[in-house]
Chain A
Amino acid sequence: MLNLRRDFLAGIFFVAIGLGFFVVSRTYNLGSASRMGPGYFPMLLGGVLMVIGALVSLKSLRQTSDAGESVPVAVKSAAIIIGSTLLFALALTYAGLVIAVIVLVVAASAAVGRQFKWQTFALAAGLAAFSALLFVTLLGLPVPLWPNI
């Protein structure tokens, strides 16, 4: 059952994205085939994506499902990891690279429940030092190291 639902959802997902691009493309100048405007090619592709998505969904209805195969959706891990990279973006802007890396590593370690272990802090400090050395000292990239006071 799950296989069927997964492919069905995947198809719907692609149809929705295709539709989105299709609709937005139509607000741009389409032009003609000999003088394609900015909307022409994306509208075409949006249409193609909708057709493929519909085929994926339809095919899933005809398929016999691979029973017993479940897909664990790691909602918590996904939220923690995406959240910690977003936190990094914020921290880097206001607090600089060193603090941002430490925040990222500690926050991301919450995905496996290791955020309070001393090894995590050691890893965070090590990675902060390493990335400061590699990106700023060695490669000379303009990344702020410390809070801008």
Chain B
Amino acid sequence: MDILNQLAFGLGVAVSPINLLYCFVGVLIGTLVGVLPGLGPIATISMLLPITFTLPADTSIIMLAGIYYGAQYGGSTTSILINIPGEASSVVTALDGHAMARAGRAGQALGIAAIGSFIAGSVATLVIALFAPILSGVALSFRPADYFSLMVFGLVAAVVLASGSVLKALAAIVLGLLLGLVGSDVNSGALRFTGGMPELMNGLEFVVIAMGLFGIADAIANVQAKHASDLTTSRIGTLLPRWKELRHCLPAIGRGTVIGSILGLLPGGGALLSSFAAYSIEKKVARHPRTFGEGDIRGVASPEAANNAGAQTSFIPLLTLGVPSNPTMALVLGALMIQGITPGPQVMTERPALFWGLIASMWIGNVMLVVLNIPLIGLWVRLVTVPYHYLYPAILVFCCVGAYTVNNNPFDIVVMSLAGLLGYVLILFRCEPAPLVLGFILGPLMEENMRRALLISKGDPSVFLTQPISAAFLVASLGVLCLMGLSSFRRTREIAMQDP
């Protein structure tokens, strides 16, 4: 069994002391930010990017991945205990989870969330191990036109499947693509949009833009908001669900895992979409759907399994195609590029330690999360009450120092402040700043592939339609956009996003 060998090799990488340590640090920080409202994994990963400069590539990716799936976990803890979803992806968990907590069954809700996440995480690890090699084999035959169209599809699908206005999200993406082009042009060496500033010759720094858009802009948007807390200090009780309940939940966990694993693969998928979809499907298949919303344990098990599976499988498109499927993956891609690694089908063959080490670390990280959370739940609950006026100065300090250390130049702090202002303006326009990062990271790659494709075809744009793979991606993008035009689909999407 080749895959087992490779997984064993990955396990060997993941259990090296430094990787274990940073995996632990990642899931710990992830749980922490998952618990804290007003601070999410995107902002945290941006703030920690400068720290990853000093780490080896596989270690830094293992840590960042730990933050991502750890945050899903922390988010569910606060959803259940105090009805505050620390993360958007655990909004649905609050419905039944908090109802269970009010009925004195908080422990069982937490327990089933942990068990469901763990089972889903383990299955998703196997899914990655099985599918990633196949997908990267396919991707190796991609030509420039195919890559260009794949990126178009990735970007379009990412906004249609995400929440909010599609048009404004598309605008944010194009703005991101444009900002990604600032600096010297790779082909001609010509300086573009630098305004004569030598600091911009190498382009805008990805880390700096990300910290501004998420760290600074979020601080501005949240500083006046009141974080109401409905702190019912209910007894947690036993964490282990009874065997009867567990058996009752296993099919739900199975369905959640399948839904999450599939949706995680899609551009725009990942944890958020998975948990919403899993909850509504669970409600549909249940024999007595009335009990949902009033503390049905399946309403916790299935979305928790789904968001964990989705968080993990969303690494597949990034590591095999080099295309990030959501903003968090765009940040991971940024971290890889900082390390000098271009994500794509060659990662698996050229950097097997990174690839298989990451996959194995996800499984280890899930074990850590279970072990970590049982004794620490009391601490997490108390942390939610940390007032935001202590939190945001800390966020600002991390962003400012982080931005400076990118080039040891205060110029980057100024750029970050302006990016923060832009992010706040976008928030005011109800325009998600997250797609901008996707565009920013893909801008130069798209230009390069378009340039190569047109060079090969001698300037004939029909190349994008005559190559079958490229044509398929473009047709799919158009299809997804047309789907948005259908009012029935739009309604379902709005309902799915707002009121599960």
Contact = CB atoms under 8 A, between A and B. Distances in A.
Interface of A: 6-7, 9-10, 13-14, 17-18, 21, 24-25, 28-29, 32-39, 41-42, 45-46, 48-49, 52-53, 55-56, 59, 71-74, 77-78, 81-82, 84-86, 88-90, 92-93, 97, 100-101, 104-105, 108-109, 111-112, 114, 119-120, 123-124, 127, 131, 135, 139-143
Contacts of B446: 41
11 contacts: A14-B171, A17-B175, A29-B188, A33-B459, A34-B454, A36-B447, A52-B174, A81-B220, A123-B390, A127-B397, A131-B401
Interface string B372-400: 00000000000000000110111011111
B411 to A, nearest CB: 8
Interface stretch (B61-69, B83-91, B423-431, B469-477): B423-431
Instruction: Please indicate which of the listed interface residues B174, B405, B417, B421 has the most CB atoms of chain A within 10 Å of its own CB.
Output: B174
B392 A38 contact: no
Interface string B160-179: 00000101101100110110
Nearest to B458: A34
Contact of A74 (B51, B175, B224, B454): B224
Contact of B424 (A33, A78, A93): A78
Contact of B410 (A93, A114, A140): A93
Interface of B: 50-51, 54, 165, 167-168, 170-171, 174-175, 177-178, 181, 185, 187-188, 190, 192-193, 216, 219-221, 223-224, 389-390, 392-394, 396-401, 404-405, 408, 410-411, 413-414, 416-417, 420-421, 424-425, 428-431, 446-447, 450-451, 454-455, 457-461
B interface SS class:
helix
B223 A34 contact: no
Contact of A97 (B168, B187, B401, B424): B401
Nearest to A94: B410
B425 A38 contact: no
A103 to B, nearest CB: 10
Given A29-B190, A36-B450, A101 B216 contact: no
B389 A88 contact: no
Contacts of A46: 178
Contact of B193 (A21, A82, A119): A21
Given A36-B450, A85-B399, A105 B393 contact: yes
B224 A52 contact: no
Chain A interface secondary structure, helix, strand, loop or mixed?
Answer: helix
Nearest to B388: A112
A52 B167 contact: yes
A85 B396 contact: yes
Given A41-B446, A45-B178, 5 more contacts: A9-B429, A29-B190, A38-B190, A72-B224, A143-B408
B410 A104 contact: no
A142 B429 contact: no
A48 B224 contact: no
Given A6-B429, A14-B171, A81 B405 contact: no
A124 B446 CA distance: 44
B178 A49 contact: yes
Nearest to A9: B429
